[in-house]
Amino acid sequence: MERTFMLDGLDCPGCAAKIEAEARKISGVTSASVNLLTASLKVTTDGRKDGLLYEAIVSAVHKYEPDIPVFEKTGGNNKRQGSDHSRGRDHGKEGGNHEMARIISGGLLFAAGFVLEKLIDASVVADTGWSSYLLVGLCAVSMAITGYQVLLQALRNIPKGNIFDENFLMSIATIAAFVIGEYPEAAAVMLFYRIGEYFQDYAVGKSRRSIAALTAIRPDRACVIRNGARLELSPEDVGIGERIEVKPGERIPLDGVVVSGESFVDTSALTGEPVPRRTAPETEVLAGSINTSGVLIIETTKTVEDSAVSRILHLVQDADSRKARTEKFITRFAKIYTPVVTSCAFLLAVIPPLLFGGDWSEWIRRGIVFLVVSCPCALVISVPLGFFGGIGASSRNGILIKGSNYLELLANATTVVFDKTGTLTQGVFKVNMIHPARPEGTGENRLLAVAAHAEQFSSHPIAASLKAAHNGACCENLDISEVKEISGKGVKVNLEGGTVLAGNINLMKDEQVTGTAVKGARNMSPEECAAADGGTVVHVAEGGAYMGHIVISDELKEDARNAVKALKQAGVRKTVMLTGDNDQAGRDIAASLGIDEVYTELLPQDKVEKVERLLADETDAHGKRRGTLVFLGDGINDAPVLARSDVGVAMGGLGSDAAVEAADAVIMGDEPSCLAKAIFVAKKTMRIVKQNIVFSLAVKAGVLVLGVAGIASMWFAVFADVGVTVLAVMNSLRLLSRFQN
């Protein structure tokens, strides 16, 4: 059983990781995941102790964040605790202003104390009692204004056994510095720590605002036409099959099909495509798109919960629940690193004076430096923010990535496998050539009519092209029965009492059909036709006799060639195309696009087998993967391959529930080159994450060594903690402001 709890005001990545770990320890909980972007905790239970779960969750949350209100998301009735926001952290813009006011006032007092100390050291101000008291007072008040919440939280955490967190570390460092007479330094530790927290809150808030901006594309009203009257209703109250009116400038509230009216629809918020799409009767439209010109009457095809915009929001909001290996490593690293370094700081402060007669004040100062540097804020904050930025940047460009783990995999993509139809091609088939076996008897019209009638119950695009090409000149009233669709091969039907076959060359072989078709001045067997003709070949047989074949072509997407080229530029070593088409057609398309390998005449299960082999090629003799295999496909038939790949990417997957469920990422538009953009964003994300890790650890290691040697001052320690945190957060924020569509 899955339950979701809202943690109102949670904005600390480190605390989120601790709450997640604590929730997993609760009896009956099988999995737990905190989503910082939506401030929610999702848990899965075995159902045995669900009655006690809420209280256990509240206890787990309040162990680290006692002022965070917790309530369970249960549809209409939300069970709440601690809903008085005034007693906890400040929320929203007003709370941010209060925090900034505290930082500014504390900063001014610190600056005054710092200047006074320098004036006393320079003998500009006499070192008298009043000047010393004023210095102590200025620094103490600055500490109280900026750090009282930190000190209070540290005291609350001690009885809970939650000692080695940033609140405790900063409190001990500040108090110890104050005790040994480092007054401005003591005030600086707390002031700059709060500045770092402010930047953290700002960065998380900016990530949340990007999600909030996305939710704005969900309309809150629909004009429904019922019994000739126009009613303004919530989209939740509109059923499937109802008709809605959308005027120019309005957002389409529900997925549907245009019944009347023509217009241009702006889909940029959904797909990232800047050019509006033309719509006319029978055109499918998606919720969240903007109608830019004419009035449209739309018949709804999905409820609001199943609409494109709802699925987008669901995917983006759940993306944070799937953590990358780097994220998980940093959480585990910080859990071990902080207690170890804190213990070293204590030993550094007491061992030399006790055993070697060192100066207590000097070694305590060195221990404080060590203690301040030990806080892992830069890592536990900047790494999740880097992944937030990557997911947000991707979503703004019409690419939904379901978790930071898939960003990590995409950044290491070495092989990309394409489905052909609907991915690299338009997926709109047209009859190109008709070659009857007996033109003097059968003729092109009869061959096309028999094929169209045999395929009339099929929804496959090839069947649709045959039915569209058939002009009804003959065979209008044929009696059809015993329709049998043979997966990946074609159909077998009873037509006017005789057996008719329509499908690919494998169907002809299975049914032992032989014969020739006239092509120019030559008679050609089905095998020769399949090898010679470009496009998809539909062979037709009646009563065991070969009637001929029909060639159906599918146009390449304009973006397909650019997609393959861009992937090579993004570092992909090998591109592969899988298709059910005949060998000649598949090879022609692969050659025109510059694809490295092509496998043709594949059934859906054959595609899975090919992907398995390609995955084996990416594995060395020791079982270690050399790179990531990405599959780009569309539609229901691709779901098994999407699920088996390292990263399955659904192309235009908003139209296919199966594809969206099976895929790890979804390209909302119709441009395969978006995959290269997603890989580029992923690589940039991983570069920024690695930069933050290396920079943070290098600076901390350097200052720790200098601190032990007595060279690093408290100011070095402050920079190694808060300064590095701020720089790492600002580095992560680059992803939130870059890659705009």
The verdict on residue 359 lying in a domain is yes
Q: How confident is the model at residue 475 (pLDDT cuts 50, 70, 90)?
A: very low
pLDDT of residue 504: 83
The arithmetic mean of pLDDT across residues 305-316, rounded, is 68
For the cut 80, the answer to whether the pLDDT of residue 551 exceeds it is yes
The verdict on residue 315 lying in a domain is no
The arithmetic mean of pLDDT across residues 682-696, rounded, is 89
Using CB atoms within 10 A of its CB, is residue 272 exposed (0-12), middle (13-18) or buried (19+)? buried
Q: What CATH number did the domain enclosing 273 receive?
A: 2.70.150.10
> By the 8 A CB rule, do 600 and 535 touch?
no
Cα(344)–Cα(169) distance, rounded to whole angstroms?
13
pLDDT of residue 517: 59
> Do 420 and 434 fall into the same domain?
no
Instruction: Write down the mean pLDDT value for the chain.
Output: 79
CB-CB neighbours of 598 under 10 Å: 21
The verdict on residue 588 lying in a domain is yes
The verdict on residue 309 lying in a domain is no
Q: Domain count of the chain?
A: 5
One-letter identity of residue 400: L
Closest alpha carbon to 288 in 205, 400, 381: 400
> Do 368 and 297 fall into the same domain?
no
The arithmetic mean of pLDDT across residues 589-609, rounded, is 86
Q: Which two tokens stand for residue 460?
A: 């496959």
Alpha helices in 25-165 (DSSP H): 53-64, 92-121, 129-157
Out of 178-182, 613-617, 711-715, the most confident range is 613-617
Q: How confident is the model at residue 516 (pLDDT cuts 50, 70, 90)?
A: low
Q: Of 72, 87, 102, which marks where a domain is finished?
A: 87
| % of the chain exceeding 70 in pLDDT | 80
For the cut 80, the answer to whether the pLDDT of residue 544 exceeds it is yes
> Do 370 and 436 fall into the same domain?
no
For the cut 50, the answer to whether the pLDDT of residue 255 exceeds it is yes
> Do 273 and 158 fall into the same domain?
no
pLDDT of residue 181: 81
> Do 195 and 332 fall into the same domain?
yes
> Do 331 and 197 fall into the same domain?
yes
The arithmetic mean of pLDDT across residues 128-140, rounded, is 85
The verdict on residue 181 lying in a domain is yes
pLDDT of residue 78: 46
> Do 382 and 419 fall into the same domain?
no
More confident residue, 624 or 565: 565
The arithmetic mean of pLDDT across residues 686-691, rounded, is 89
> Do 192 and 338 fall into the same domain?
yes
For the cut 70, the answer to whether the pLDDT of residue 428 exceeds it is yes
pLDDT of residue 89: 44
Encode pLDDT of 383-418 as tens digits.
Answer: 777 887 787 778 777 788 887 888 889 999 999 999
Beta strands in 261-359 (DSSP E): 263-266, 277-279, 284-285, 290-291, 296-300
Q: Of 87, 102, 129, which marks where a domain is finished?
A: 87
> By the 8 A CB rule, do 26 and 44 touch?
no
Cα(13)–Cα(35) distance, rounded to whole angstroms?
10
Give kind and range of the element (H or E) at residue 14. Answer: helix 13-24
Query: Looking up tokens 């510059």, which residue turns up?
Result: 594
Cα(38)–Cα(211) distance, rounded to whole angstroms?
9
Lowest mean pLDDT among 147-156, 470-479, 539-548: 470-479
More confident residue, 495 or 686: 686
Q: What CATH number did the domain enclosing 452 receive?
A: 3.40.1110.10
Cα(88)–Cα(211) distance, rounded to whole angstroms?
24
DSSP state of 476: T
pLDDT of residue 438: 63
Active site includes 419?
yes
Out of 162-166, 523-527, 555-559, 637-641, the most confident range is 555-559
Encode pLDDT of 259-273 as tens digits.
Answer: 999 988 887 666 656
47 φψ region: left (φ > 0), alpha (ψ -120 to 50), beta (else): left
Backbone phi, then psi, for 491, in 5-degree steps? Answer: -130, 155
The verdict on residue 364 lying in a domain is yes
CB-CB neighbours of 90 under 10 Å: 17
For the cut 60, the answer to whether the pLDDT of residue 495 exceeds it is yes
Q: What CATH number did the domain enclosing 562 receive?
A: 3.40.50.1000
pLDDT of residue 85: 37
For the cut 80, the answer to whether the pLDDT of residue 139 exceeds it is yes
Lowest mean pLDDT among 313-317, 416-420, 535-539: 313-317
> Do 165 and 115 fall into the same domain?
yes
The verdict on residue 541 lying in a domain is yes
The residues pairing with 522 across neighbouring beta strands, listed in sequence order, are 519
Encode pLDDT of 154-206 as tens digits.
Answer: 887 777 766 666 777 778 778 877 887 888 888 888 888 788 777 767 766 66
The arithmetic mean of pLDDT across residues 235-257, rounded, is 90
Closest alpha carbon to 533 in 420, 432, 461, 460: 432
pLDDT of residue 84: 39
pLDDT of residue 635: 60
Encode pLDDT of 47-80 as tens digits.
Answer: 766 678 888 888 888 888 877 888 887 654 444 4
For the cut 60, the answer to whether the pLDDT of residue 655 exceeds it is no
> Do 413 and 280 fall into the same domain?
no
| % of the chain exceeding 90 in pLDDT | 10
Domain of 251, in residue numbers: 239-302
The arithmetic mean of pLDDT across residues 600-624, rounded, is 82
pTM: 0.67
237 φψ region: left (φ > 0), alpha (ψ -120 to 50), beta (else): alpha
> Do 114 and 137 fall into the same domain?
yes
The arithmetic mean of pLDDT across residues 465-490, rounded, is 73
Q: Which two tokens stand for residue 180?
A: 């040994």
Q: What CATH number did the domain enclosing 44 receive?
A: 3.30.70.100
Lowest mean pLDDT among 130-139, 207-216, 457-466, 699-708: 207-216
The arithmetic mean of pLDDT across residues 613-635, rounded, is 82
The arithmetic mean of pLDDT across residues 596-617, rounded, is 86
For the cut 70, the answer to whether the pLDDT of residue 83 exceeds it is no
Q: Of 538, 556, 574, which marks where a domain is finished?
A: 556
The verdict on residue 96 lying in a domain is yes
For the cut 50, the answer to whether the pLDDT of residue 86 exceeds it is no
Contacts of 582 (CB under 8 A, 6+ apart): 504, 505, 530, 531, 533, 536, 537, 600, 601
Catalytic residue among 11, 419, 634, 664: 419
One-letter identity of residue 377: C
Contacts of 346 (CB under 8 A, 6+ apart): 367
pLDDT of residue 741: 46
For the cut 80, the answer to whether the pLDDT of residue 592 exceeds it is yes
Closest alpha carbon to 585 in 647, 640, 538: 538
pLDDT of residue 496: 76
Parallel, antiparallel, or unpaired: how do β-strands 545-556 and 425-436 relate?
Answer: antiparallel
For the cut 60, the answer to whether the pLDDT of residue 93 exceeds it is no
Query: Looking up tokens 């009347």, which residue turns up?
Result: 260
> Do 204 and 327 fall into the same domain?
yes
pLDDT of residue 87: 36
Cα(304)–Cα(284) distance, rounded to whole angstroms?
16
